Amino acid sequence: MVRIFNTRELVRLASVLAILMASKIGVCQNTSTPLLRLQQSRAYLNIDANVQHGMGLYGITYGNPGDVWQYPNSLSCLVVYGDGKYVLEKRDEPTLGRPKVKRAEGNLGADDLQRLKAILDDEALKKVKTPSMPELPPDAQAVRDIESVDAQIDHSGTTQRFTLVKERVKTGALISATSGPSTGMDSYLDNGVPYKKTLSPLMKWFEGVEKKSKSDLKESKPQYCAPINIG
């Protein structure tokens, strides 16, 4: 039987998510400072289907009993250097315990690099910061899946970092003796809504690089993507 979490517990876990992801996105073997690191992540927690943990969200940690990467998830991360060199890494794990990692490396054309620099120099983008985690509804039972965007941008030696999180939350707990149970509909929480328009050019540029690099992706070992941890 799935454990029902109170709102305070879920809020604390959600806060840990943002801190840990922000601290992990800097992992990279190249020692030079990148112009941009950008990662999109999605983890399907499947709390109901993975009751062997017995602890619900508390069971999703590094090491035993398991990392989030033991749950179906996908990561796509891009590292771009000032000279235009870039590395794109994609990790997909549709089957539990069998991750597939691919990587593509290349050099951006002069126009693409200039376009990226213009996007990163936008004053509105420079003001984006990690917002507070989404406030969970009072009848939340468990987080079903989490999507995140993590970015680290170098502005002439000054580093800008932010993490945006979108969650799908299972609801349906008994609110009170008089009101009865809630509808049981999933709730979608997104703390990045205020920045959607500002981030649109950057995310579209990112998608463009993914499409161009699709045919160049080759099997590789995990090196650039940072796993999500909410334990």
DSSP 196-223: HHHHHHHHHHHHHHHHHHGGG-EE----
Question: pLDDT band at 71, cuts 50/70/90?
Answer: low
Task: Tell me the average pLDDT across 85-114.
Answer: 88
The neighbouring-strand residues paired with 85 are 107
74 pLDDT more than 90: no
Structure pTM? 0.70
Q: Which percentage of the chain shows pLDDT scores above 70?
A: 66
Please tell me what DSSP assigns to residue 49. Answer: T
76 pLDDT more than 80: yes
217 pLDDT more than 90: yes
The rounded radius of gyration (Å) of the Cα atoms in the chain is 19
Spell out the residues 6+ positions from residue 162 whose beta carbon is closer than 8 angstroms to its own.
22, 128, 129, 130, 150, 151
10 pLDDT more than 70: no
Question: pLDDT band at 174, cuts 50/70/90?
Answer: low
Reading the block at residue 229, the tokens are 């941890």
Reading the block at residue 198, the tokens are 């500002």
Peptide bond into 181 cis (omega under 30): no
52 pLDDT more than 90: no
16 pLDDT more than 90: no
What is the spatial distance between Cα 210 and Cα 207, in angstroms, rounded to a whole number? 5
C-alpha separations of 131 from 10, 54, 136, 162 in Å: 17, 31, 15, 8
Task: Tell me the average pLDDT across 21-27.
Answer: 42
For residues 92 and 99, the answer to whether their CB atoms sit within 8 Å is yes
Reading the block at residue 106, the tokens are 């290349």
Spell out the residues 6+ positions from residue 117 whose beta carbon is closer than 8 angstroms to its own.
35
Task: Tell me the average pLDDT across 92-117.
Answer: 88
